Amino acid sequence: MKNIKSMRKLRFHYFSVVMLALISAYPIYIVHSSYPLPLHSDEWNHLTIAREIITAKKFIDYNPYLGPRYKVRNWEPGFSIILAVFWQISSLSISELSYVWPALISIILTLNTFVLVQWLRNDIITSFSAGFLALTIKSNVTLLGLWFIVPVAFGMSQLPFLIYLFLRAIHDHLKKLEPFFLSLILSFIATTLVHPPATVLLVPVFFLYLLTQPRVLWMKRYIISLFLISLLCLSSQFIDITKFGDKEEIKKILHQFTFRDETYYTYHKFFSYPRYLGYDIILLALCGVYVCASDNSKHSRVLIFVLITLLPFIIQFYHTRTIFLFPYRRLFSYLSLILVILAGIGVGEIYKFSFNLLPKMFKNKHLSAISKLCLTFIWILFLLWQMNESFAYKTKLYHLITVKDIEAILWLKNNTPENAIILAQPHISNTITPLSDRRVIATTKTRLQSSDKTRKDVHKFFTGNCEDKKNILESYKVGYIFSKHKISCSFLNLTYSKSGNYIYHFVR
Amino acid sequence: MFLTLVRALFGFILVFFIPGYALSWAFFPDKREIDALERFAISIGLSIASVVTVVYLTTILFHLPFTKITSLIIIFSITILFGVIGWIRHSRVKAQTKHEKSGKSKGEKR
C-alpha cells in the first residue's frame, strides 16, 4: 500500500515537472509570436560574439562589430562559449535561436526551482507554485530577464541550483568524496564565467549561513578550503595577472571593493519591489519567510539569509546611489527570484493549510469536496493571473529591425565582398554583423558599443551634404551604405532597393 | 517547425544533458543518493559546468580551434570518461548492496 502511494507521488512529481516544462515555453512563445527576432540590443551583441567565435574558430578579445583592432574585455566568457557551442551543434538560425534559447533557460530555471523547493519543503504543490512563479518574473529592457538571450537569465536559472547544491553539500555527512561539494565547486566556477554577479552575491550568503553552522564549518573545513582556493583562482579571471603589482591595476581592484557609481545611465535606476513584483507577491513572500523561519529542519532558512544579506545592499543603493560589489540591476533581478520562490512557498503552504482546514469547516462530504475544488480553482487562477501580469512590459519592447529588413541585410551577405565595411544607423548596425558577417562603423550605446565619435559621424553622414558624406566614407573606408531613405550623390551607386531599404555602393 | 524542434532537442541533449548525466553517475553512483528528478537537474547543471569550463580551458589555455568537431570531441570525451568512471562506481555499489542484502537474508535464515 505504501509502495503504491509513493509510486503515485512519484508520478505526480514527474507530471508536475513536465507540466512546468511545457508552461515555461508559453511566455516566450507569446513574446515572440508577433516578432521572430531577438528583442534587445544586448541579445544581438551576445549573438554577434558567439557568431564571431564560431567564424574565427577561437575565443575573441575584440569588438566583433568593428574588427580585431578594437580590443574589448569579455566579462561573461562562459556565456559566449555555451551559446556558441549550442549554436554550432544545433545549427539553428538567429530567429529560431531567439525563442529556443530563452525557452530552454526557462525550463532549466523552473526545474531547478522545483528541485530546490521540493528538497526544502518536500511538497509538490509548494514546489510547483514556486517553479511556476519563477517563470512569472517580469522581463524588461532595463532589468532584462528570461525573454532574452542574456547572461543574467542564465544566472537566474542557476541560482536555485547553486543554493540546492550548497545545502546538500553542507548537510550531506556521509560521503568521503563530497560529491555535492565537487558539483558545487564546478557549477560555481562555470556560473561565475557565465555571469559573475550571480555567484558573487552568493558568497556573503554562503558565508553567513556557514557562520550559523560552526559544527559543519569545522567538519567540512578541508572541502571549504578547497572551495575558497578555487574562488581565489577564479578571481584571476577578473584581474590582469600580467600587470600584477602595477599601481593602476591595484587601484582597479580596490575600486571593486569600494562604494562606486554604476556605469550605466541613471534615468531608469530605481525599481521598487512591491510595484515590480506586485503587492500580492510581497505579502506571499512574507508568508514564505514565516514558513521558512519556522522550518524544523532549518534548511529553508537559507532563503531568508539571502534576503538578510542582500536587502541591505539594495537599501544602501537607494540611499547613497552607489553600488558595492555587484551592479544594482542584477542584484535586483536575483533578489526578485528569491522573493518569488518565497512567494511560491507561501502560496503552497496557504493552499495546503486551507485544504486541510476545509474538511473541518464543512462536515458534509460533498460540500467539503466542492470547497476543495473551489480552492484549487482559486490557486490555478492566481497562478494564471501572475503569468498574465508578467507580460506588463511586453508592449514596451523595441525592435531594432523589422522582418522585412532581413532580406536587405542578407543581400549584403550574398553580394558584397567579405571584407566590406557597411555604414548604417547604429541600431541597424547591431543586427548587420550577426546576420551578414560584415563589419560596421557604429553601434548603439549598449554592451558592445562603438565610440561617441563614430555615432556622431554616422549621424552626420545621414544629415550632411554630399561632401560630408564622401569625407566620412573615405575616412572609414566604407564599401556599402544601408539606408532607410534615398540618397542622391554622384559617388553612391544604388545596388538594392526594396521595402523601404536602400543599399548603395561607394564608388571611389 | 518540426526540424527546429529536432535540432533544438539534439543541441539540448548534447550540450545540456549527456556530459552531465555521465558526471552525475561518476559523482553519485548509488541510485538511492538522489532521485531521478534530482539526477536530471544535476545532469543539466553539471553539463553546463563541464562544457563551459572544459571548452574555456581548451580554447584559451591550449589554443585548440573552436570548431564543431572539437566541441563534439570535448563533449564525447567528458561523457565517455565520466561514463566509464560512473559505470565502474555504480557496479561496485550494486555489488556491495547485493552482498549486504544476501548477508542480511542469511542472518535472517539463521
Residue range A279-322, pLDDT digits in tens: 999 999 999 999 999 987 778 999 999 999 999 988 888 888 78
CA–CA min distance B14, chain A (Å): 8
- Phi and psi based region of residue A278 (left: phi greater than 0; alpha: psi -120 to 50; beta: remaining): left
Distance from CA of A491 to the nearest CA of B (A): 41
Are the Cβ atoms of B53 and A186 closer than 8 angstroms?
yes
Tell the burial category of A438 from Cβ atoms under 10 Å away from its Cβ (0-12, 13-18, 19+).
buried
Q: C-alpha cell of A105?
A: 533557460
pLDDT digits (tens, 9 = 90+) for A175-197: 666 899 899 999 999 999 999 99
pLDDT score recorded for residue A233: 75
Across the A/B interface, how many CB contacts are shorter than 8 Å? 122
Counting Cβ atoms within 10 Å, is residue A169 exposed (0-12), middle (13-18) or buried (19+)? buried
pLDDT of B106 > 80? The answer is: no
**Inter-chain residue contact A158 with B15, CB threshold 8 Å:** no
* B contact test, residue of A55, A97, A182, A187 with most B CBs within 10 A: A187
* Distance of alpha carbon A273 from alpha carbon A311, whole angstroms: 11
C-alpha triplet A142, A463, A455: angle, nearest 5°: 40
**Predicted pLDDT at B73:** 95
As a whole-number percent, the residues of chain A with pLDDT over 70 amount to 91
Residue range A384-393, pLDDT digits in tens: 999 999 998 8
Close Cβ partners of A144 (under 8 Å, ≥ 6 residues apart): A40, A42, A150, A152, A153, A329, A333
Q: Which cell goes with B2?
A: 518540426
| A468 conformational bin, left if phi > 0, alpha if psi -120 to 50, beta if neither | alpha
| pTM: predicted TM-score of the whole model, two decimal places | 0.93
| Residue B103, min C-alpha distance to chain A (Å) | 22
Distance CA B89, CA B33 (A): 13
Task: Give B107→chain A minimum CA distance, Å.
Answer: 25
Instruction: Please give the full DSSP string across A324-357, using - where no structure is assigned.
Output: BSB-HHHHHHHHHHHHHHHHHHHHHHHHHHHHHH
Contacts of B6 in chain A (CB under 8 A): none
For range B81-90, the mean pLDDT: 96
Alpha carbon of A96: minimum distance to chain B alpha carbons (Å)? 7
- Which cell numbers hold the place of B105? 537474508
Contact A96 B4 (CB under 8 A): yes
Per-residue model confidence as pLDDT tens digits over A361-380:
888 889 999 999 999 999 99
Q: In this model, does residue A221 exceed pLDDT 90?
A: no
| pLDDT tens figures, A231-277 | 777 776 666 656 666 777 676 666 666 666 666 554 456 788 898 99
Contacts with A90 from chain B: Cβ below 8 Å: 7-8, 10-12
Q: How far is B65 from chain A (nearest CA, A)?
A: 5
Q: Which residue of B has its CA nearest to A116?
A: B38
Q: What is the pLDDT of residues A433-489, one digit of tens each?
A: 999 999 999 999 888 888 999 999 999 999 999 999 999 999 999 999 999 999 999
Query: Nearest by CB to B41, which of A57, A91, A115?
Result: A115
Name the residue among B45, B63, B65 with its Cβ closest to that of A187: B45
Q: Which residues of A touch B72 (CB under 8 A)?
A: 89
Q: Which of A59, A161, A179 sits opposite B41 (nearest CB)?
A: A161
Mean predicted lDDT score pLDDT of chain B: 91
C-alpha distances in Å from residue A486, one per residue of A30, A409, A466: 36, 17, 13
pLDDT of residue A262: 65
Question: Which residues of B sit within 8 Å Cβ distance of A?
Answer: 4, 7-8, 10-12, 14-16, 27-28, 33, 35-38, 40-42, 44-46, 48-53, 55-56, 59-60, 63, 65-68, 71-72
Bridge partners, residue A313, by sequence: none
Contacts of B27 in chain A (CB under 8 A): 177, 179, 182-183
Which grid coordinates are listed for B14? Answer: 548534447
Question: Between B7, B49, B56, which is nearest A90 by CB?
Answer: B7
Which residues are CB-contacts of A413 (< 8 A; sequence separation ≥ 6)?
A: A435, A436, A437, A438
What stretch of H or E contains A422? strand A421-423
What's residue A426's pLDDT?
A: 95
pLDDT at A258 (0 to 100)? 65
Distance in angstroms (rounded) separating the CA atoms of residues A58 and A83: 14
CA distances for B15 relative to A247, A410, A426, B71, B79, angstroms: 42, 29, 34, 9, 11
* Contact between A111 and B40 using a beta-carbon 8 Å cutoff: yes
Identify which of A89, A111, A165 has the shortest CB distance to residue B11.
A89
- Checking ipTM against 0.95, whether it exceeds it is no
- Tell me the C-alpha distance between A445 and A430, whole Å: 10
Q: Report the distance separating Cα B45 and Cα A171, nearest Å.
A: 20
Asked whether the beta carbons of residue A89 and residue B71 sit closer than 8 angstroms, the reply is: yes
The predicted-structure confidence for A411-447, as pLDDT tens digits, reads as follows: 999 999 999 999 999 999 999 999 999 999 999 988 8
Q: Which of A280, A390, A300 is nearest to A343 (CA)?
A: A280
Q: Which residue of A has its CA nearest to B11?
A: A90
**What's the average model confidence in pLDDT over A44-48?**
96
Q: Using an 8 Å Cβ cutoff, are A347 and A382 in contact?
A: yes
pLDDT for position A243: 62
Query: How much of chain A exceeds pLDDT 90, in percent?
Result: 66
B53–A179 CB contact, under 8 Å: no
Return the residue in A33, A81, A158 with the most chain B beta carbons within 10 A, the one to mutate for interface testing: A81
Min Cα–Cα distance to chain A from B89, Å: 12
How close, in Å, is residue B96 to chain A by CA atoms?
16
**Single-letter amino acid code for the residue at A195:** H
Residues of chain A found within 8 Å of residue B52, distances taken between Cβ atoms: 78, 81-82, 190, 193-194
Express each pLDDT in A139-171 by its tens digit. Answer: 988 889 999 999 999 999 999 999 999 999 888
**CB burial class (10 A; 0-12, 13-18, 19+) of residue B96?**
exposed
Q: State mean pLDDT over A397-414.
A: 94
Is A495's pLDDT higher than 60?
yes
Residue range A14-42, pLDDT digits in tens: 889 999 999 999 999 999 988 999 999 99
Q: What is the pLDDT of residues B34-78, one digit of tens each?
A: 999 999 999 999 999 999 999 999 988 788 999 999 999 999 999
**pLDDT at position A242, please?**
60
Q: Is 80 exceeded by the pLDDT of residue A347? A: yes
Residue of B nearest to A14 (CA): B37
**Interface probe with A: pick from B5, B9, B14, B15, most Cβ of A within 10 Å:** B15
Q: Which of B48, B68, B76, B92 to mutate to test the interface with A (most CBs of A within 10 A)?
A: B48
- For residue A3, the model assigns a pLDDT of 64
pLDDT at residue A83 above 80?
yes
Contact A57 B7 (CB under 8 A): no
Mean pLDDT of B26-30: 93
CA pair distance A367, A29, nearest whole angstrom: 40
pLDDT value of residue A232: 76
Residue A2 predicted with pLDDT over 60: no
Cα separation, A332 vs A142, in Å, equals 11
Any idea which of A204-218, A261-275, A322-336, A342-356 has the lowest mean pLDDT?
A261-275
Helix, strand or coil, per DSSP, at residue A503? strand
Interface contact flag, A115 B38, Cβ < 8 Å: yes
In this prediction, residue A44 carries a pLDDT of 96
